Every structure is written in C-alpha cells, then in structure tokens.
Chains A and B, each alone.
Chain A
Amino acid sequence: MYAFELERPKTLDAAKAALAGDEAQALGGGQTLIPTLKARLASPAKLVSLAAVEGMSGVKAEGDQLVIGGATTHAIVAAEAALTYPGLADLASHIGDPAVRNRGTIGGSLANNDPSACYPAAVLASGATIVTDRRQIAADAFFDGMFTTVLDEGEIITEVRFPVPQAGAYAKFVQPASRFALTGVFVARFSEGVRVAVTGASEEGVFRWTEAETALSGNFAPEAVDGLSVSPDGMIGDLHGTPAYRANLVKVMTKRAVAAAS
C-alpha cells in the first residue's frame, strides 16, 4: 500500500469538496478498494471515506419504495429490509462473509460494478433509481459494462430507491473460489410485468434477460422459461466455467429465482 491521506467528512458538502481535489478517491466499505491498494494496483493521493457522512446510511420505506442510503452496509440491508423487501434482504445476507457484509456498502458495490457483484442484479431487476449528489439515474441507464457506470468522477451515490415488487428473489450460483456470483439472477414481479436481471455471466456486466421477462410476465412460474434458450455468445469464459456453462446457469438460476419468489 502506498501512502495516502484519509478524510472522513461528516456532511455531503464536505465530501464533495474533498473529492474535488486531484487524485481523490471515494471510499465506501473498501471491500474492493482496500485489497487493490494493498496489492499496490492503485495509488490515490487521498481517500474520502463516506462512512461518516450524515444521512447516507440506513433503510427506510417511503410510499411504495424502499430507500437505502448509499453508505449502508450489506448487513444493515439484510436486517432492516427483511420485512419490506425480503428478496433484497436475502441477497444482501449472502454477499461475501460477515466481515464483508459489515463493511461493504451498497453504494460502493454499485459504483464499482463488478461483473460478478450481486447488487447490480437487484437494482436492475427492481428498476431502482440511483440517486447521486447531482442527479437521479434509472437503473437501466446506470450500468455501462464491466466495472463501468455512468457516474462522473467524484460523483457520490447518496441513496438507492427500490420500487418494492409484488414478488422478488435472487438465485446465485457461486464461483467456488471467490464465492462471488458465477451467475446470479434476480427476478422481480410488478403489476406491470416481470423484470429479470443477470449478473456474473456476461462480458458486458449485468443485463436484463428480456425473453424471460416476456415469458414470465405471461406465466410467473419456473417452467415458463423452459422453452427459452440463452446464447453463450458474449458470456464470460474462465477457469470456473465456459460461456456455455454460464448460459445454462442463466436459465437454471432464473427458474430457481422464480421458484423462490413464488
């Protein structure tokens, strides 16, 4: 790890000011950034921790939406969203291990957009809105390929607003070593239709499986996707699975998520 300055602003304005400097980097729970620093793969001059920013942590219901502060840890989401959005709470409760869940944050996960992360699937399937210090971004417009989002330099995710579906669940098949999602599928059924988002599988990062959405909107049951096939084109191939294997998992995990949500 190279030397860096650390700031822990208490207000959003102070955080924005701190991030305006050269080579400043926002720090959420640090579950990706800190290992990256330890491996000397990044050398920011300054880290701006968002952990102490007032009003950025917590889970609350607002109308038919669940609003989660950007600095809220997975453990808090797992505990506090359990009644209002059990599918989301269940997802949060299975990210990493207890140490990860007590440090890692939803804002950090979304800003990093790891292609194997769990939260992007929930955000995209739920049609959530990512609220930043400067705008509101629909989930469909937020993710922009592996480790890439539409966030600007220094832009801070202050909260994420989830419409709560009638039914929603996440099914994850873990990569055996890292236990990130080798493929994870979140399905969410709303009165206006079903949304299906897939993480871990595609070289483009999280994506919506629209054929399954159509099929499931007509019949929200696992067998509704039986007749569909997923192309291995564009799927990730690595030590832990070929593109064909991941394509298979997209379908299998979709069925399991539907079964869990039903």
Chain B
Amino acid sequence: MKSYLLSIFLFIFLAGGPVYGSDSIAAPANTKASQAVAVADEVNEPAAETADTTADPFEEEYQNGEYADAITKEEKVEIADPLEPFNRAMFQFNDKLYFWMLKPVAQGYKEVVPEPARISVKNFFTNLGFPIRFLSCLLQADFSGAATEAGRFGVNTIWGIGGLMDPASSKELDLKMQDTDLGLTLASYGVGHGFYLVWPVFGPSSPRDTIDLAGKYFLNPLSYITPWYYPTGTKVVEVVNRTSLSIGDYESLKEAAIDPYVAMRDAYIQYRKKQIKRKNNKAGAAGVQLEQNLTKSGAN
C-alpha cells in the first residue's frame, strides 16, 4: 500500500511541476524559451477545458483579481496629460490641417510623381537626417551605431547619388539606419517623458521630445540655406512627400478609434516606450558582449 501512496505522491509532484502563476505572464520573454519544450499540465488542463465548454463564456465571472492584475501589469504605459484641453484643441487643429490642406496637396502630388521617385525623395531627406542620428549615437556611447551611421552617410551620399538611393541598406553592406534621436538619448540618461504635449503642425510630443524637435531643426543642413524661405520650402516638400507615402494611415487610426485623441496619445507613448526598450536591450547586449570579450582576453 505504501508504494501506492508513493506513486501518487510522485504523480502529483511531477504533474504539478510547471507553475502557471500570474508572474509567468509578467516574466520577461525568454528567447531561449522558443525552443524550450512546453510541458502540458495534464492536471490543470481538464479544469481549464470544462471552464471553456460548460459555462457560457459571458457568464464567467472574472472576479479573479490576480488574473486582471496580470493582464494590466503586462504593460502599463501611461502618460500624464495635465494640458488635455489645450492638447485636444491642438489635435483638432492638426486634424483639420491634415484633411483640408496636407492630404489634398499630397494626393495631387501623388498623382503626378510616381512612387519610386517619391521613395527617392524620402531617402534623400532621410540621408540628411544623418547628423542628429550620428550625434545621438555618440551621446549614448553607441560607437558601433555611430560608425554605422557614418558609413551609411558616406556610401549613400557618394554611391547613392546624394542620398536618393539607399545602397547601404542592401544585403551586401547591411548598414541599417539607426533608429534613434535626441529624445531617446535623453531617455537613456534617465530623463522621463514629463507630460503629453501636442504641438500644432508637429503633432504628439512631450517636453523631452520637444528638445529633439529643436535639435532636428538645428542639426539639419537644410535649415541653414539662405534666403529664409528655402528651408521652409524644402520642409514642405519633405512633409508632403512623406504624407503621400502614407495616405490612409491616419484615417484608419481615426476610423478604428473610439476616442481618436486618446488613441493617438496611447499609440505615441507605446511607440516611444518600445523604441527606448529596444535601445536598452541593444546597449545591454553590447555590454554583455564587451564583458565576454574582456574575460576572454583576460583568460588569454
């Protein structure tokens, strides 16, 4: 009889092994886990299934506080919005600006200029954004990023006909554009967003990202052309060109949203947060790499 008890005990022990706790949801995604074998918990499974089949799903009471917490904890991304009335007004202004001016102009431009040409124009302006990306990489001590940017700028300016083409991104060279700016640089120093701020014309921002907007202006070579209306003119071309490549994006965001203002704010904040996270991961990975190299050279 004792062996019975033992085996039952063993069974419970083995079957109960993997813990399906709420914290496993919040746990950071482990890349190695993709190859890891998921163990089916046969003890839990029938219970879960009966819950699915017997009870009407709408009748189910999700009073389980832990569950709700686990969902919301997954990623809580919020930003303070003390200037909401002002921001909403600016949002309305930008909305009208888009539908009454920018969109019709961009549509006309799209009719006249074929897509490959518009992509070239986009590449040209992206190439001119080099100084701010280069500087941001340097300020973040991301030297490989800075080197990549410098290489891209050289290659694309010389072989890409002044930046109209993007040969640096080709498979052979694989110099990818560094997705960074001064806002992310400040974030890497630990500067927070502050609060949400919508600028007329420029759109969603925050005090931190406003510094980036200013930096973009001062570090863009086009800003220094005289007479004064040339920079403005090129800026308009850039914006119209960019818009012509993404007509419909804003419309679908607005169409899908219950409250477009809140939807936009959330999209902006989520997007920035992910960029920062990716940057940190990259820095972390580089740090680990460096450490390994150091220990290796130490061992040698």
A and B part of one assembly = no
